[in-house]
Amino acid sequence: MKKNICPLLALLVAIITGCKPAVKEAQKDPIIEQKEIKLTSDIMTPEVLWSFGRLSEAEVAPDKQSILYGVTFYDIDQNKGNRELYTVSADGKKTNRITTTKFSEYQATWSPDGKKIFFMSPESGTMQVWKMNPDGTSREQVTRIENGINGYKVSPDGRQLLYIADVYPEKKLKDLYEGLPKASGKIITDLMYRHWDTWVEAYSHVFVAGLDGVVEKGTDLMPEEPWETPLAPFGGMEQITWSPDSKVIAYTCRKKQGKEYALSTNSDIYLYDLESRKTTNISEGMMGYDIAPVFSPDGKKIAWQSMERDGYESDKIRLMVMDFTTKEKTDYTKDFDQNAEALAWSEDGKGIWFISDWHATDEIYKLDLTDNKITRITQGIHNYTSVVPMGDQLITTRVSMSMPAEIYRVNPSNGSDIQLTTTNKNILDQLTYGKVTQRWIKTTDNKQMHTWVIYPPHFDSTKKYPALLYCEGGPQSTVSQFWSFRWNFQMMAANGYIIVAPNRRGLPGFGQAWNEQISGDYGGQNMQDYLSAIDAVSKEPYVDKDKLGCVGASYGGFSVYWLAGNHQKRFKAFIAHDGMFNLESQYLETEEMWFVNWDLGGPFWDKNNKTAQKSFSNSPHRFVQNWDTPILCIHGELDYRIVATQGMQAFNAAILRGVPAELLYFPDENHWVLKPQNGILWQRAFRNWLDKWLK
């Protein structure tokens, strides 16, 4: 449950899966675009939060003179968003908006010669590829694929297009459906019949076609293969790529299905030779996740992100490189006790840039292949989320708890950066944010734990404030300098609360041992870490220790439910979103069985498995008899990772116990809240509940 979906991916998935209604509605509504906003207060509100533009996908032009990117703006009345494309000069002095349409544009990329921009946009109810001039003129349709596509990449020589599209297998047991065209029943014969928020009725394949006209049908690189690429639900086009000579396509795939798929994380990197039509597995025998291949500029090597162990989705992310001449595979992060993500080759092919989390910030690093040395490039209170070389500079997107994504240019010689885009300057200039600080707190086993403390705007140390303990999800996702449009620390602080956000046991960025401790220890040391954090901060004279709240989602929701029965009267209010309440039912309700097998230790019926029995004995529902504190439970019906009945069980238990409780239920949301009006309702309910019991 470690994944945090990006807003762009979430919106793209929503449009692809429901494109026809979106098209019809868009024909009636005005274009959604950035609005001039004049605030009457310098304190952020949910409506202001949803007014920020959401920037993503910075693409450097071949001539390195400009950067292409997209921004999504939301309209609360229309209850949806719209994404437009922009370019900014390499020096940041000139920004151009190049699209103005009612339909969003996605995955915009430059043609190899820089003369065109390719992008995805809906046409007649399906997502297709288009191209246009760099100034947005001369828009032309490139594909007309039946049922649409989900992603694409143009070959380096500009002559071919690879795209991914859904393949629908024949309905199983089709004889039972004969003469029943309106029958809605699903006959299920194996596991993984639904995944995160989707019933699995198709799988995505890679297709390739020439770019000598409008593409209506490509060649399936995986004919008759009943598996997917990229990996659902979070994999994107970073998992599929061209070789520099346009002769080979590398793709990520877990060639398993049903029960086998549900039990394993063992994906591999496959190379498809366009001339011979042969497929080669270059990571065979490597048992964990192998994803996101990138060829060196000369095509003689390939790098990818690799995990060692099958079934462990939060294993260390290694930087693996294969030399095609020697066939040798090398783990260059063997002695590097951190993850390596978002790989990008240097332009001379002698190094690899990557992003790594260390002590709660995501920074840029470089592997020098001449001496195998890894060097940290940047340092600060922020997260870099991508890195693209541009001559002797790097182009990256950067966020923090106090700023949504913008594009920056980084000087790798000294780690300094320059902001190139100012998408949300108008709003940010009108807001006052709370101070973000970090401190190290001693745990019950004498370790030092990093903790963020965020103060309300206009904080006055002579006053007393209620405080919130924030419980992170994942469980193995760092409380870093992320910017969220739901769990937004500045939004929580703007409500008048001090936020305590500890990097408790079971999070990356503090070494592998710290990260792995949580597996098999739900309800154990990490819960004591939470209590150590709130106990330490509540000793400050400006914290009202009689008005403490506790909030969290996913594993953070589990944490809230567990603490509700084990907090020894510390807290006066709880909020749990999409949390695990009953681990026994969770084990049989979830879909990715590798997760519960690894983290809980196995099934609850294995009475000889000490790890599993310890995990299930710490299920929050076993401590309901101790519940005595008001609790708000939130859940979405489309959440198949932690199903909605988990939240309903918790709410029902609280009511039956006579504990004040509310249930905020979303019939049309999944593990997240993606619709604007639902997002604002969430924020209002969140604040109202806390204010009711803590103020």
**DSSP-derived pairing of the beta strands 373-376 and 361-368:** antiparallel
Q: Is 561 within 8 Å of 576 (Cβ atoms)?
A: yes
Residue showing tokens 């191209």: 131
Q: Which residues contact 180 (CB under 8 A, 6 or more apart)?
A: none
Euclidean distance between CA atoms 69 and 86, whole angstroms: 5
* SS3 of residue 662 by DSSP: strand
* SS3 of residue 218 by DSSP: coil
Q: Which of 205, 382, 635, 671 does the annotation list as catalytic?
A: 671
Whether residue 113 lies in the annotated active site: no
Whether residue 554 lies in the annotated active site: yes
Whether residue 460 lies in the annotated active site: no
SS (H, E, C) 309-327: CCCCCCCCCEEEEEECCCC
Euclidean distance between CA atoms 301 and 271, whole angstroms: 13
Give, rounded to a whole angstrom, the gap between the first and last alpha carbons of the chain: 33
Euclidean distance between CA atoms 276 and 521, whole angstroms: 50
Q: Which of 554, 559, 615, 619 does the annotation list as catalytic?
A: 554
Euclidean distance between CA atoms 577 and 663, whole angstroms: 10
Q: Is 246 within 8 Å of 239 (Cβ atoms)?
A: no
Find the Cα–Cα–Cα–Cα dihedral 237, 240, 244, 245, rounded to 10°.
Answer: -120
SS (H, E, C) 662-681: EEEEECCCCCCCCCHHHHHH
Among 515, 529, 593, CA closest to 563: 529
DSSP state of 435: P
Task: Count the Cβ atoms, other than its own, within 10 Å of residue 305.
Answer: 25
Query: Cα 311 to chain center, whole Å?
Result: 20
H or E element in which residue 268 lies: strand 268-273
DSSP state of 215: B
Q: Which residues contact 13 (CB under 8 A, 6 or more apart)?
A: 233
DSSP state of 102: S
Q: Which residues contact 678 (CB under 8 A, 6 or more apart)?
A: 666, 668, 669
Q: Which of 268, 315, 599, 639 does the annotation list as catalytic?
A: 639
Angle at 392 between CA 388 and CA 397, to 5 degrees: 30
Euclidean distance between CA atoms 439 and 416, whole angstroms: 24
Q: Is 671 within 8 Å of 642 (Cβ atoms)?
A: yes
Among 567, 589, 563, CA closest to 576: 563
Among 165, 65, 69, CA closest to 109: 69
Among 597, 548, 543, CA closest to 568: 548
Active site residues: 554, 639, 671
